[in-house]
């Protein structure tokens, strides 16, 4: 029974956390609102974010309530997972930091998968309506890399370098910090 509850919790909280982080990311990179995916993300997350905005003000022109709400949901997920496994119900600094690491990893995975999908679509169907959204999601990173990474044989290698850098961040330092926190809970 606990496994089923754990599966339901991790699925729903995980998906909603992803949508909250996407909401912040879309605002951070100024993604156009008219795309169906951005519209979906804003519509699904608006009820909770409208409540959170009353408690959490914006910071430097950004709506950080979506990030803080995602972080809070991750704390709930980690604590409830530990409780369902059999640990005592408590919140420690390590658990709070672990939830922050989880949100940070989600942000990096968003960039990673956006680059992968953009690369695949550019080969399969470069005129797909998703390309505009993916380009707006990856352009802030790829623009900087394109000026430093040369085109080799007519192939732009900057997405490969961005994927490499994202994977490196996930392994070290983020992975190392996560492993330290997990072992010291």
pLDDT of residue 130: 94
- Rounded average pLDDT over 26-46: 93
pLDDT digits (tens, 9 = 90+) for 68-127: 999 999 999 999 999 999 888 888 999 999 999 999 999 999 999 999 999 999 989 999
Q: Write down the mean pLDDT value for the chain.
A: 94
Which sign does the torsion angle of CA 108, 113, 114, 118 carry?
positive
Tell me 151's DSSP state: P
Q: Any residues with CB less than 8 A from the CB of 94 and at least 6 apart, and which?
A: 181, 184, 185
Domain chopping of the chain, boundaries = 2-183
pLDDT of residue 34: 87
pLDDT digits (tens, 9 = 90+) for 143-169: 999 999 989 998 999 999 999 999 999
């Amino acid at each position: 029974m606990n496994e089923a509850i754990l599966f339901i919790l991790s699925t729903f909280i995980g998906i909603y956390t992803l949508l909250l982080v996407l909401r912040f990311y879309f605002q951070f990179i100024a993604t156009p609102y008219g795309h169906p995916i951005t519209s979906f993300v804003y519509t699904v997350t608006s009820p909770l974010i409208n409540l959170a905005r009353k408690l959490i003000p914006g910071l430097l022109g950004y709506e950080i309530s979506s990030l803080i709400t995602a972080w809070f949901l991750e704390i709930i997920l980690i604590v409830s997972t530990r409780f369902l496994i059999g640990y005592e119900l408590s919140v420690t600094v390590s658990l709070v930091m672990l939830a922050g690491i989880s949100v940070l990893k989600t942000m990096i995975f968003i960039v990673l998968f956006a680059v992968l999908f953009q690369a695949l679509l550019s080969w399969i169907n470069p005129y797909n309506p998703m390309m505009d959204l993916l380009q707006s999601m990856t352009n802030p990173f790829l623009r900087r890399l394109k000026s430093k990474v040369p085109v080799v044989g007519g192939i732009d290698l900057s997405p490969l370098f961005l994927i490499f850098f994202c994977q490196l961040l996930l392994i070290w330092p983020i992975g190392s910090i996560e492993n330290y926190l997990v072992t010291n809970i």
